[in-house]
Amino acid sequence: MARYTDSVCKLCRREKQKLFLKGQKCFTEKCPIEQRNYPPGQHGLSRRAKVSEYGVQLREKQKIKRSYGLLETQFRNYFEKATSQKGRTGENLIKLLERRLDTVVFRLGFASSRKQARQLITHRHIIVNNVPVDIPAYLLKAGDVIQIKEKSKKLDAIHNSLKRVKDNTYGWLTVDKATLSGTFVQIPERADVPLNANEQLVVELYSK
């Protein structure tokens, strides 16, 4: 399955909320959803069709999958892994996705979107525990230290992104802007993750 190549702003409008896929633009008034918070297409504004239970569940799955920038197969694999773990499957799923290196690089503020975070990682600008890592799906463990490679510390994209981030915005992460490093302190609780989605509906969808 190929990557989505159309305007990512359409995905936000489809889900009727910001998925923060466009980087800096998502934090400005230029974000299309600020002016057109309805599905794209000719009938997006007037569409009032009743949504079935399956449709509601599917929308929640699409919302989470698109927020983390995953393909269907990738998302399903994470779900299967979450199912095999102890605890609530939906919460396990979100915790796994929050352990991804691209998500953490984004949360730390080194990138303005997960897409940009993946680019930094695949171009080997990121170091984990003093070892270069070029796999966006790399799962972090509590205590892992994430750093920007020394030769990459002058990248404008990183510094521009950090300007929008307050110190220690997320309780499970710490960031040092001076040294361009951060620590994955612990796996977050679901209640702490800023994701406006109902993952339990995904569990119900896949259980059919």
Residue 97 has pLDDT above 70, yes or no: yes
pLDDT confidence bin for 15, thresholds 50/70/90: low
What pLDDT is recorded for position 130? 97
What pLDDT is recorded for position 35? 64
| Percentage of the residues of the chain whose pLDDT score is greater than 70 | 75
Tell me the domain boundaries of the chain: 8-97+196-206, 101-186
Retrieve residue 180's tokens: 């361009």
Residue 173 has pLDDT above 70, yes or no: yes
pTM, full prediction: 0.79
What fold, for 101-186? 3.10.290
What pLDDT is recorded for position 1? 38
Distance of alpha carbon 33 from alpha carbon 30, whole angstroms: 9
Tell me how long the chain is: 208
Mean per-residue pLDDT, 90-104: 98
Question: What is the domain class of 8-97+196-206 according to CATH?
Answer: mainly alpha
**Do 8-97+196-206 and 101-186 come out as alike in CATH topology?**
no
Residue 73 has pLDDT above 70, yes or no: yes
Highest mean pLDDT among 53-57, 93-97, 163-167: 93-97
Distance of alpha carbon 22 from alpha carbon 97, whole angstroms: 19
